[in-house]
């Protein structure tokens, strides 16, 4: 299975090949899974990658000898209740990957985590703040945090950062990270200089929280020549103001999501010609968007969610949407995507490759 941009998303294998791969992985200690249901593996000390699934306190104590695992490089934990700060999980100074996504009860990270200076991938659940010492993680490439985590300024001084996915980011105006590829979500007032501070961004998510900031988006797009995925979210009463006439020049942009209403009712003008995925949410358009959107020759997925179009008639003409495979017209938070729609006319030859259609009212 491939993504909308043509890259591989999933790969299916025959059952025999899967069984062989599992056997070879177990033989080579590729990954060890610990849970309450299985016994403690005798080869745990030789494992380089360990995943904990729904392990209780008793089981954690049973595997306290895990601290002898000097070769451990990857640790993932899911569904761990009441994990103590002195847990052996935090004693591995040579870790490269640490994923504690399900760890929702930790407010402050234990001091031991500050010694994991070799980390390249860090993913955490609900944590109130990161320690300033994270700036010492000079090899860190990926940081994934949930909304509400306070981020120290020292994080942005790590030159190796490639992917930053946090609930709210406000990078210092003076820093430049040429290796950064993913940034989400960035506060709208911080993107004035993004195009020269992070020139190689591939994926960007922006939140507009002030009315006048919506007009800055066109300026933002002008300098990001490598951007392939863009998501813009406007908070309530903050309109999205984009001069879509500039969009066709962004032939590299493949995925676009616009969440928020367009001033003056808005109408679709132009979009990047190479788009393969487009999502419109709460756009509150007064004019039928289909005549413009159906010209997108490479569009594969189109989604309308929650009060996108307020008109009564919608038309898809012959030859429109030549590559469209998936079309979603769905409600969002009990708001219909097209609450006033009375007639949807689809002419013969429109959407010839459509394979999946979802209509929810």
Average pLDDT, stretch 116-120? Answer: 93
Instruction: Tell me the C-alpha distance between 51 and 49, whole Å.
Output: 7
Residue 120 confidence (pLDDT): 97
Residue 280 confidence (pLDDT): 92
Nearest CA-CA partner of 279 in 231, 244, 341, 351: 231
Residues 43-66: tens digit of each pLDDT: 666 778 888 887 766 666 666 555
Residue 194 confidence (pLDDT): 72
Residue 165, domain member (yes or no): yes
In this predicted structure, the answer to whether residue 213 has a pLDDT above a threshold of 60 is no
Show Cβ contacts of residue 211 under 8 Å, excluding neighbours closer than 6 positions: 237, 238, 239
Residue 121, domain member (yes or no): yes
Residue 325 confidence (pLDDT): 94
In this predicted structure, the answer to whether residue 130 has a pLDDT above a threshold of 60 is yes
Residues 242-270: tens digit of each pLDDT: 656 656 557 788 999 988 877 655 556 67
Of the two residues 66 and 334, the one the predictor is more confident about is 334
Residue 129, domain member (yes or no): yes
How confident is the prediction for the chain on average, in pLDDT? Answer: 81
Residue 71, domain member (yes or no): yes
In this predicted structure, the answer to whether residue 212 has a pLDDT above a threshold of 60 is no
pLDDT bucket at 92, cuts 50 / 70 / 90: confident
Domain of 53, CATH number, reads 3.80.10.10
Residue 48, domain member (yes or no): yes
Per the listing, tokens 């299916």 go with 12
Number of domains in the chain: 1
Residue 180, domain member (yes or no): no
Residue 340, domain member (yes or no): no
- Residue 85 belongs to domain spanning: 31-169
Residue 243, domain member (yes or no): no
Residues 296-314: tens digit of each pLDDT: 999 999 999 988 999 999 9
**What is the percent of the chain with per-residue pLDDT over 70, rounded to a whole number?**
77
This prediction has a pTM of 0.85
């Amino acid at each position: 299975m491939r993504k909308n941009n043509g890259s591989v998303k999933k790969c299916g294998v025959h059952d025999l090949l899967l069984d062989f791969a599992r056997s070879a992985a177990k033989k080579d200690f590729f990954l060890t899974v610990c849970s309450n249901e299985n016994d403690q593996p005798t080869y745990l000390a030789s494992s380089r990658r360990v995943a904990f699934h729904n392990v209780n306190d008793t089981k954690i104590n049973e595997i306290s000898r895990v601290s002898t695992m000097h070769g451990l490089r990857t640790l993932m934990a899911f569904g761990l209740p009441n994990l103590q700060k002195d847990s052996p999980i935090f004693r591995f100074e040579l870790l490269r990957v640490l994923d504690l996504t399900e760890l929702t009860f930790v407010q402050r990270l234990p001091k031991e985590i500050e010694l994991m200076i070799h980390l390249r991938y860090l993913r955490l659940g609900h944590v109130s703040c990161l320690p300033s010492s994270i700036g010492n993680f000079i090899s860190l490439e990926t940081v994934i945090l949930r909304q509400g985590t306070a981020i120290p300024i020292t994080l942005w001084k790590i030159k190796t950062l490639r992917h930053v996915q946090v609930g709210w980011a406000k990078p210092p105006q003076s820093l430049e990270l040429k290796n950064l590829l993913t940034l989400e979500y960035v506060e709208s007032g911080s993107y004035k200089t993004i195009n020269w501070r992070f020139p190689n961004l591939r994926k960007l998510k922006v939140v507009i929280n002030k009315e006048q900031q919506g007009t800055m988006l066109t300026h933002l797009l002008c300098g990001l020549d490598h951007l392939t995925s863009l998501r813009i979210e406007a908070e309530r009463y903050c309109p999205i103001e984009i001069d879509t006439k500039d969009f066709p020049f962004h032939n590299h942009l493949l995925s676009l999501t616009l969440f928020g209403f367009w001033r003056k009712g808005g109408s679709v003008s132009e979009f990047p010609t190479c788009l393969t995925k487009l999502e419109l949410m709460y756009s509150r358009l007064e004019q039928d968007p289909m005549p413009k959107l159906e010209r997108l020759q490479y569009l594969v997925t189109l989604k309308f969610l929650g009060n996108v179009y307020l008109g009564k008639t919608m038309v898809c003409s012959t030859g429109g949407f030549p590559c469209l495979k998936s079309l979603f017209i769905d409600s969002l938070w009990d708001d219909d995507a097209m609450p006033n729609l009375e007639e949807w006319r689809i002419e013969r030859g429109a959407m010839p490759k459509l394979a999946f259609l979802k209509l929810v009212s």
